Structure 1
Amino acid sequence: MTYEIRQARPDDFRHFGVIESAAAALFADAGLPEIASHEPTGLEFIEATANAGVVFTATGNGMPVGFILGAPLDRHMHIYELSVHPSHGKRGLGRRLVEAVCTHARERGFDAVTLSTFRDIPWNGPFYVSCGFRELARNEWTPALLLAHYREEDLGLPIERRCFMRKELAE
């Protein structure tokens, strides 16, 4: 199969829910069945992200098999969602999607990319560390990250397993 990373088009967005739900199912095996049962990101948020930032998709033979949502938050580019359909996993697509957002951010003058993730799940925290991200200490959180933390807590996420990460973008 031939894979490509490209900026998503509005007609790609309708595929994202299936991709995200399939990827979220992996959380059940990691002891987080509540994540697996969450509703996928809504179309309204995907469209807002595309308008304010960027949405990239990984395609396999022209069909979306993964996506990433990135938009500004506190003067940095923030990754809101990264999902790759498990049947297309382990091919470097997630890494290529992260690199696409980092390149996009750098080209637009952002000095860093941030995100929120589970620190202990291999395809979350350790994956992002391998992409050059580092965990932020709580005293490094911005007001918007603190609000995001409260939102995650309100959603019932196991907050003790969550972290914010940041990657500096070199010139």
Structure 2
Amino acid sequence: MSGRKAFKGMAPAGTRIRMMEPGEAPALQAIEHRAAQLLVEVGHLASAEPTPMARFVPFLLRHEVFVAEVKGGGPIGYAAAADLASLAVPDDGIEDGEGAGCYWLSELSVDPAHGRRGIGSALLSAVVARAGWFFHRAVGLSTARDVAFNEAFYARREFLKVGADDLTPVLRRRLVLECPAGVSPDRRTVMIRWL
């Protein structure tokens, strides 16, 4: 099944979900930056600068990237996910293979101009479907605590909060690594959806 047909029917009318194609990094970087402004508006981030392309492209390459686009137009949202074990970094104290079987959603961004139309839900559905197709046991993520379009969004889609005392070393490490500069890990939460 091609990247343009694998997620047929998952997106709202007039849009579709597909896998990232070459040359799309600048458009996705712009979406990420615009979406981050929403976290600034609610006080979760003090400010949000675009991720430098020298960091953004390697991030994309470490993940499978799902893109939402307007039919006949460009990207309006994306999600980046990978097996949690594949995201380990050298010398982080995580055992080889720890986290295997958990498909980790590292990023879900929708251009605010296209928000509240089901694009984020469609991207999340594509990530969950992909995880199931490849026999992952769960989908995990870290997100802003007490922000309606983050924690509550995922809770409505069967993701459960993992308490701080219940975090495994690999989940704790992801939580810390994904904390934006200037944000305490206490203001973020890990959530899991079992498949």
Q: TM-score, normalised by structure 2?
A: 0.78
Unaligned runs of 5+ in 2: 1-12, 85-98
In structure 2, relative to structure 1, the CA distance for the partners of 1:153 and 1:56 (3 Å cut) is closer
2:59 counterpart (22, 45, 64): 45
Question: Is residue 9 of structure 1 aligned with residue 21 of structure 2?
Answer: yes
In structure 2, relative to structure 1, the CA distance for the partners of 1:8 and 1:38 (3 Å cut) is closer
State the Cα distance separating 1:48 from its structure 2 match: 1.7
Percent identity among equivalent residues?
Answer: 33
Aligned to 1:117: 143
Q: TM-score, normalised by structure 1?
A: 0.88
Please tell me whether the aligned partners of residues 26 and 36 of structure 1 are also in contact (alpha carbons under 8 angstroms).
Answer: no
Aligned to 2:70: 60
Matched letter for residue 159 of structure 1: P
SS in 2 for 1:123: helix
Aligned to 1:143: 169
Unaligned runs of 5+ in 1: none
Aligned to 2:83: 72
Cα distance in 2 for residues equivalent to 1:30 and 1:106: 33
Cα distance in 2 for residues equivalent to 1:11 and 1:146: 33
Cα distance in 1 for residues equivalent to 2:61 and 2:178: 21
In structure 2, relative to structure 1, the CA distance for the partners of 1:38 and 1:120 (3 Å cut) is farther
Cα distance in 1 for residues equivalent to 2:105 and 2:29: 17
State the Cα distance separating 1:20 from its structure 2 match: 0.6
Cα distance in 2 for residues equivalent to 1:149 and 1:116: 6
SS in 1 for 2:59: helix
Q: How many residues align?
A: 165
Cα distance in 2 for residues equivalent to 1:42 and 1:68: 13
Cα distance in 2 for residues equivalent to 1:57 and 1:24: 17
State the Cα distance separating 1:152 from its structure 2 match: 4.5
> What do the CA deviations read for 1:82-141 (whole angstroms, capped 9, x no partner)?
000000111100011011010000110101000000121111000000111010022332
Q: CA RMSD in A?
A: 1.9
